Amino acid sequence: VISDSLVFMSKTFRAWDVDQGWLLPASLHQFVPPGHLAHFVRDTVREALDLSAITGVYKSEQGQPPYHPGMLVALLLYGYSRGIYSSRQLARACEERVDMMAVTGLNKPDFRTISTFRRRHLAALRGLFVQVLRLCQTAGLVKLGHVAVDGTKLRANASRHKAMSYKRMAEQERRLEAEVKAWLDQAQAADVAEDAQHGADHRGDETPAWMADKQRRLERIRAAKAQLEAEARAGADTSDAHGPGPSSGMQQRGARKNLTADEAQSATPPDRAQRNFTDGDSRIMPSGGGFIAGYNGQIAVDAAHQIIVAEQLSTNPADFAALIPLVDQAHANLGRKLREVSGDTGFATEANLAAMAERGIRAYLTPGRIRHGQTDPTAGRVLKRKPLMQAMADKIRRAGRRSRYRLRKHTAEPVFGQIKQPRGFRQFLLRGLNQVRGEWAMICTAHNILKLYKATG
């Protein structure tokens, strides 16, 4: 008797021959299934975007032909839509991932090429946001029935522990200066002794590494200290529209006054003023119950399909100054006036409500934080001599749960969730305000591309 366990049934398997060559080359369109995001991003860049601001830079015929700018743009946008932001990770993906190969056409740019291209054309890449937004508008994804504005804090490519207050800078400068002087005197004495022992032609006069590190730190502290002092002498606060604005802690209370010539000559920063050594444009901001060195990314989102219609990034942790620029930018981007806009208490000021009324836009900006189960948005907020704020509070209170203000929570806030969680963007790679603003625009562009793909794919 033969046991059933000893009876083996033969089975034919598919061939697994890794050494088999291809008789005919495979098509890039077969690397990923039809309708894949890789095809959509590549074809959108090739057929729908105007890249003349980038391609027009390449005029010289000398040297090796560069990679096609369109390919690199598609690579960056597809990588951002997949949560891949590092140039090294993008270069590795070009070698390992077939979806990336479908985008690049089997080109394999190294990470330096990708990084240099992004830095060189950051302004033009930022301009693609408007082009993609208008594609969304053409596809019927932008209704402008309701637009919500919101802001989120994002980490800079710097640690808050790399910032130093002006008071500590002065203390560290004196201490390090004394240490460096003592070490230089010691090194000089050692040189004299070694010259006497070994002869003047022998080596041994190099600055020790431990001394050079202290010297470099002293130089960085002096440079940051000089920048804070120059900012203090400038007097009144400058607009944050183009520059990074005042350093963290520079304003003790409210805006700084204009200084006379004599006052400016002797003005010094407050002791609490800080500057970051890694990214001098970043600012200390509250986030998640703590503090980070970062930036404030702000967006205006259309309620119909969560399309970002305007984007801005600033160093001001407060949101109120971003409202009107976002509204005006959305109007300029789409050629249509917004009808109604909602925003949380960070956007609600008497001046903002007046500006919205002048533009004929219905505003839903709560003057106070509405907590769960709370019906009075003015709780904890003093509204004396603020008639527009009081009228807004009454308007939201009368509407109750039917208020249009409640559209904000499922319009703007989920967009930040999609950017931060599925696509994992929580910290900038680049440094400096202009660079970071370009990176934020690319993040918003990738978000809109994904919305366009899901709606039309």
Burial of 413 (0-12, 13-18, 19+ CB in 10 A): middle
- Tokens 């308007």 sit at which residue? 395
Separation of alpha carbons 47 and 31, rounded Å: 20
When the pLDDT of each residue in the chain is averaged and rounded to a whole number, the result is 83
Q: What is the pLDDT of residues 10-35, one digit of tens each?
A: 778 877 887 888 777 788 888 999 99
What is the pLDDT averaged over residues 331-335? 95
Backbone angles phi, psi at 177, to 5 degrees: -60, -40
Whether 448 has a pLDDT exceeding 90, the answer reads yes
Average pLDDT over residues 394-398: 87
DSSP string covering 315-351: S-S-SGGGHHHHHHHHHHHHSS--SEEEE-GGG--HH
The model's pLDDT over 169-211, given as tens digits with 9 standing for 90+, comes to 777 777 777 777 776 777 777 767 766 665 555 555 555 565 6
Q: At what angle do helices 122-138 and 323-334 cross, to 10 degrees?
A: 70
- What amino acid occupies position 253? R
Determine which of 36-45, 182-191, 251-260, 289-298 has the lowest per-residue pLDDT on average: 251-260
The answer to whether residue 130 scores a pLDDT higher than 70 is yes
What kind and span of H or E run contains 124?
A: helix 122-138
Round to whole Å and give the CA distance between 364 and 194: 78
Q: Tell whether the model's pLDDT for residue 435 goes beyond 80.
A: yes
Res 43: pLDDT: 95
- Residue 3 pLDDT: 53
pLDDT at 309: 97
Structure token pair of residue 298 = 């702000």
Confidence band, pLDDT 50/70/90 cuts, at residue 39: very high
Alpha helices per DSSP H over 155-288: 166-198, 209-234, 261-266
pTM greater than 0.85 (yes/no) = no
Cα(300)–Cα(296) distance, rounded to whole angstroms?
A: 14
Contact 159, 293 (CB under 8 A): yes
User: pLDDT of 219-238, one tens digit each?
Assistant: 777 776 776 667 666 765 54
Query: In this predicted model, which residue has the larger pLDDT, 440 or 268?
Result: 440
Average pLDDT over residues 252-261: 52
Query: How many other CB atoms sit within 10 Å of the CB of residue 105?
Result: 11
Q: What are the beta bridge partners of residue 308?
A: 301
Q: What pLDDT, on the 0 to 100 scale, is given for residue 239?
A: 44
Asked if residue 370 has pLDDT above 90, the reply is no
Cα-to-chain-centroid distance, residue 246: 19
Long-range contacts of 285-291 (CB under 8 A, 24+ apart): 285/153, 285/317, 286/153, 286/317, 287/153, 287/155, 291/160
pLDDT at residue 378 greater than cutoff 60: no
Q: State how far the Cα of 352 lies from the Cα of 349, in Å rounded to an integer.
A: 5
> In this model, does residue 154 exceed pLDDT 80?
yes
